[in-house]
């Protein structure tokens, strides 16, 4: 086990990602933030919390998207569906998708398919906490990345959040 981001580094990284999103989407007026269920929501909740300290909270449109039934591997592994909560249209809006770890790219591909049920966005950006850049199966790259790491296929990246896991860190596990 190796620590990739400590609790302090994780907090700083979340703050930096929020600043980068705001820098490229000033005032957030035509921008929506969507966290991917289940693990990306822990990160998106934190980023939105940071954004509310920088802009008027009433302009932030924040939703949560479950992509379980859009996955191409849904038959291989059983995922328990969680709630999708997007109480607004994304038609002609800039969408910032947020997930914890970018690995093969299949989750993001499924999210892009699922988004179309809520309208056609003008632009989609991807924000991830950890980018496992050499394990991609699809040509998907993040626009905002907290940490880029090189891993081998047998390793696993685990993001721990205090509310769920009791500790706050990102670790690399060897199988």
pLDDT in tens, 12-37: 999 999 999 999 998 898 999 999 99
CATH code, 135: 3.40.50.2020
Q: Tokens 């950890």, residue?
A: 130
Q: Is residue 68 part of a domain?
A: yes
Q: Where are the alpha helices (DSSP H) in the chain?
A: 7-24, 39-52, 106-115, 162-165
Q: How many domains does the chain have?
A: 1
- The whole-angstrom separation of Cα 95 and Cα 31 is 6
Q: Is residue 160 part of a domain?
A: no
- The whole-angstrom separation of Cα 117 and Cα 137 is 25
Looking at the chain, the number of H-run helices and the number of E-run strands are 4, 8
Q: Is residue 156 part of a domain?
A: no
More confidently predicted of 75 and 142: 142
Q: Is residue 56 part of a domain?
A: yes
- The whole-angstrom separation of Cα 124 and Cα 97 is 7
- The whole-angstrom separation of Cα 29 and Cα 25 is 8
Return contacts of 41-45, CB within 8 angstroms, 24+ apart: 42/100, 42/159, 42/161, 42/163, 42/164, 43/14, 43/98, 43/99, 43/100, 43/129, 43/159, 44/98
Q: Is residue 29 part of a domain?
A: yes
Q: Is residue 87 part of a domain?
A: yes
**pTM score, whole prediction:** 0.93
Backbone angles phi, psi at 93, to 5 degrees: -105, 160
Bridge partners, 65 (sequence order): 36
Interval 116-132 mean pLDDT: 96
Q: Where are the alpha helices (DSSP H) in 106-159?
A: 106-115
Q: Which domain holds residue 26?
A: 8-151
pLDDT tens by residue, 57-98: 999 999 999 998 776 665 555 556 678 899 999 999 999 999
pLDDT band at 111 (very low <50, low <70, confident <90, very high): very high
- DSSP E strands in 2-152: the ranges are 2-5, 31-36, 61-65, 94-102, 123-132, 144-149
Interstrand relation of 94-102 and 144-149 (parallel, antiparallel or unpaired): unpaired
């Amino acid at each position: 086990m190796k620590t990739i981001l400590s609790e302090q580094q994780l907090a700083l990284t979340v703050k930096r990602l929020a600043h980068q999103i705001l820098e490229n989407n000033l005032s957030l007026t035509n921008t929506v933030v969507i966290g991917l269920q289940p693990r990306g929501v822990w990160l998106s909740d934190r980023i939105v919390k940071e954004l509310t300290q920088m802009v008027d909270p009433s302009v932030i449109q924040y939703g949560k998207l479950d992509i379980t039934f859009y996955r191409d591997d849904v038959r291989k592994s059983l995922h328990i569906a969680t709630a999708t909560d997007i109480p607004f249209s994304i038609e002609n809006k800039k969408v910032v998708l947020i997930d914890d770890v970018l690995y093969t790219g299949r989750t993001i591909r499924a999210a892009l398919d699922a988004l179309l049920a809520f309208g056609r966005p003008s632009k989609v950006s991807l924000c991830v906490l950890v980018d496992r850049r050499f394990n991609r199966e699809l040509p998907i790259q993040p626009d905002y990345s907290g940490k880029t790491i090189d891993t081998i296929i047998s390793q696993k990246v685990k993001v721990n959040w205090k509310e769920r896991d009791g500790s706050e860190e990102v670790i690399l596990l060897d199988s």
